[in-house]
Structure 1
Amino acid sequence: MKTTIRILALIALALMAWYLAADRNTPFTSNARVKAVLTPIVPKVAGDVVELNVSNGERVDAGTVLARIDSRSYEIARDTAQANLQAALLNVGAGSAQVEAAQASLARATSTLKNIQLQTARVFEMEKKGLVAAARGDDARAQLAAAESALASAKAGLERAKQQLGPQGEDNPAVKKALAALADAELKLSWTEITAPASGGVSNLDIAPGAFAAAGRPLMTFLDAENVWIEAYMTENNLSKVAIGAPVEVVLDIHPGRILEGRVDSFSAAASLGRGSPDGLAIPPRTVGWMRDPQRFPVRIILPGYESGRNAADDVYFQFNGQADVIVYTGENSVLNALGSWYIRLMAFLSYAY
């Protein structure tokens, strides 16, 4: 009996020693969530939705037309602006065709550049993190340079068209006002076509064609699949040895038994104390125990190869706010690393049951 008690005591002491060492050298948490950039799709103009090209949960590519707003009133406004410009130009004795064409080209080039700037910014961010090949970054820079060149060319074309009016036409207040009104009408007309800001998925879609789209009110939510990460909420004790770039292993509840490799990308230097706090900081989920609840801080973990929320080589995919288990290896301690590797694999096996 005494021998059994001694053995149990030694096992308990060994487990306690392992826990205390692992808490800092191979910290583990099951308090982790899948995160992605959420973008509310907010129309900039009002009108009836006449076309809806996506369904809830559907994955789309950047630039895909998600919905179209009834454009008839905006086409009328554009036509009216064109007529007003023609009248203003006739008053100064000049033709309007070249100016109208140049103004329309400028509006298109401006809209195209804005879309490409949004898309390439995401590529540059992933390139900086080493998540995409340098060739993709070069392609993005080439696309951005081409769009900027097209905008500069359109501006130059409009200036040439204005110069053909002569000093009187170019400086005529009525012509300037008509040109500005036409530019505004062209821009608002382009806003009736709502496109995907990046590759990703549509969520929270509860409208159908015929619904009224109010300017400034979200129609749906877009999950940006170009930037998916795991947010692990770790205690201050856990973070004492964790460094950026430290290797990580992750088990997703949606894929029990699978071990995904990642690395620590960044830390949050602050966390909110509760949902009533107006500080705008991250709010880690609270845990309940008989001891003082430790303060947790978000640690951002990226999974190279899965930055787009899916890997073509396998069937792994992600659910926003899906739960995960995470272990971080902070050094070259072979014993603790081996025990940690065994433990996360045990958790992967147990994830089949919970």
Structure 2
Amino acid sequence: MSKSKSKKKSSVKKLSFLTLIFTFLIFIWYIASDRVTPNTDQARVKGLVLSVAPMVNGYVTKVNVGLHSEVKKGDTLFMIDRKPYEIAVAIAETNLEKVSQSISAGISSIKAATARVSKAKVSLDRATKNWERTQRVISQNEGALSEADKDRSEASYLNAIEQVASTEAGVEKQLAALGPTDQNNPNTKAVVSQLEKAEWDLAHTAIVAPSDGIIESFNVEVGYFAGAGRAMVTLISNNTIWIQANLKENNISNIQIDNEVDVIFDIDPGEIYKGKIKSISYGVSTDRTNAGGLPRISTAQGWLRDPQRFPVIIEIEDPEIKQKLRQGSQAEIVVYTGNNWLLNSLASTRIYIISKLSYVR
């Protein structure tokens, strides 16, 4: 009986010793994996969320999409009433024609004024010669001409001088009023800018998708008044998608950019996808008064203080899974920071088992 009890005690001791050794090995693995193959289930799919807003005001005349519609970049989502903007373009084109005609008329007036200057100079030349002749006759024979003839010759000469000055001043005034006759003319520049603005407004009556994506927050119908800058719908881009994994502070000490990552998604259980580390956050918000817009990470409060977590951005390499993912989808990741075959194998086995268990979550 005593021998039986002795064997039983020996078996219990062996089992306890093996359990202790196993627990110790698990503890060592946990500590080592935290540094070499860190993992977390606090990971979510993130992406660009774009608010689609019109650039012009107006009533919606056409709706080409609905809630959860998939769109491509450049697809027309809505049309705003074009009529007011077509009228604005027509008015701007008319104003440009008027300015062109006004410049043409100004050029013709300047030509006419220039002709008057030439005519005045001819008259001045004739009056100058007549006055010189009068002075020469008087100097040779003082009584040859009467004072009235002398006065008429002098008055004609002075009047011709004044006429040339007056016509030249008129030309300068018209040139100053007309300004440049090319595209640098202020009036031309003003109406061209008006026309460009009207054409820009008209072009933006079509509201197009800024990126490939899915329509969300849809509540628009024909007759809806769209205000410039006021969001009409939300577009979730499916071009730019990444994973934000919130890793503990002591996890990220060995992580480097481009480290390989295994990722599993609840949306596609049983599958393991590859990724790469793209960036690591350098700060998070730790209180409610911070106005800097840093990421806010919630940490569990328990008997032991949970280490601070920092967002780590992971790029997904498989283009097919991007089409399945939805923003906010949950994921679990493991990062391979080195070439430790044992820890890497254990981490790979662990993520494989979890991927299969995700069927029953």
Counterparts of residues 149-160 of structure 1 (less than 5 Å): none
Residue 338 (str. 1) matches residue 351 (str. 2)? no
Please list, as runs of the form range in 1=range in 2, the aligned pairs for 1:205-244 lying within 5 A after superposition. 205-244=218-257
| Alignment partner, residue 177 of structure 1 | 190
Give the Cα–Cα distance (whole angstroms) in 1 for the partners of residues 81 and 242 of structure 2: 37
1:318 to 325, 334, 352: 325
The answer on 1:18 being equivalent to 2:29 is yes
The one-letter code of the counterpart of 1:309 is K
CA distance in 1, matches of 2:312, 2:230: 32
In 2, Cα distance between equivalents of 1:255 and 1:274? 36
Q: Match of 1:122?
A: none
Q: Distance in 2 between matches of 1:193 and 1:286?
A: 46
Q: Is the 8 A contact 1:226 1:308 kept in 2?
A: no
Tell me the matched-pair count.
Answer: 278
Partner amino acid for 1:186? Answer: E
- Residues 26 and 340, structure 1, Cα contact 8 Å, conserved in 2: yes
Q: Which moved more, 1:45-54 or 1:322-331?
A: 45-54
SS in structure 2 of the partner of residue 35 of structure 1: strand
- Name the aligned partner's letter for residue 244 of structure 1: I
Instruction: Point out the structure with the larger helix share.
Output: 2
1:293 alignment counterpart: 306
> For residues 1-354 of structure 1, what are the structure 2 equivalents within 5 Å?
1-93=12-104, 167-168=180-181, 170-274=183-287, 277-306=290-319, 309-310=322-323, 317-354=324-361
Displacement, 1:277? 2.8
**Are the aligned partners of 2:244 and 2:312 in contact in 1 as well (CA < 8 Å)?**
yes
* C-alpha distance in 2 between matches for 1:35 and 1:282: 13
Please list the CA deviations of residues 112-162 of structure 1 after superposition, one character each: whole Å capped at 9, or x if unmatched.
xxxxxxxxxxxxxxxxxxxxxxxxxxxxxxxxxxxxxxxxxxxxxxxxxxx
Shift of 1:340: 0.3
Q: Deviations over 1:224-249 (max 9, x none)?
A: 22221111111111101111111100
- Cα distance per residue 1:54-74 (max 9 Å; x no partner): 222222221111111112211
d(CA) in 2 for partners of 1:70 and 1:259? 50
> 1-side partners of 2:357 and 2:184: how far apart?
76
Indicate the RMSD between aligned Cα atoms, in angstroms. Answer: 2.1
Percent pairwise identity: 37
Structure of larger gyration radius: 2
Aligned pair in 2 of structure 1 residues 211, 275: CA closer, same or farther (>3 Å)? farther
Following superposition, the deviation at residue 25 of structure 1 comes to 0.5
Displacement of 1:12: 1.6
TM-superposed deviation, 1:274? 4.7
CA contact (8 A) 2:54 2:229 kept: yes
- Give the distance between the partners of 2:327 and 2:288, measured in 1 at CA: 20
Aligned partner of 2:49: which letter? L
Deviation at 1:77, TM superposition (A): 1.3
Q: Give per-residue Cα distances to partners, 1:136-193, cap 9 Å, x unaligned.
A: xxxxxxxxxxxxxxxxxxxxxxxxxxxxx99425344322211111111111111111
Q: What's the offset of the Cα at 1:4?
A: 2.7
Contact 1:81 1:178 in 2 (8 A): yes
- The 2-side partners of 1:28 and 1:254 are apart by 19
Q: TM-score, normalization: structure 2?
A: 0.72
TM-score by length of 1: 0.74
Q: CA deviation at 1:17?
A: 0.8
Does the 8 A contact of 1:58 with 1:201 survive in 2?
yes
Please give the alpha-carbon distance, in whole angstroms, between the structure 2 residues aligned to 1:188 and 1:84: 17
What whole-Å deviation, never above 9, does each CA across 1:174-221 have from its counterpart, x for those lacking one? Answer: 222111111111111111111111222222222222222111111111
How far apart, CA to CA, are the structure 1 residues paired with 2:200 and 2:243?
A: 38
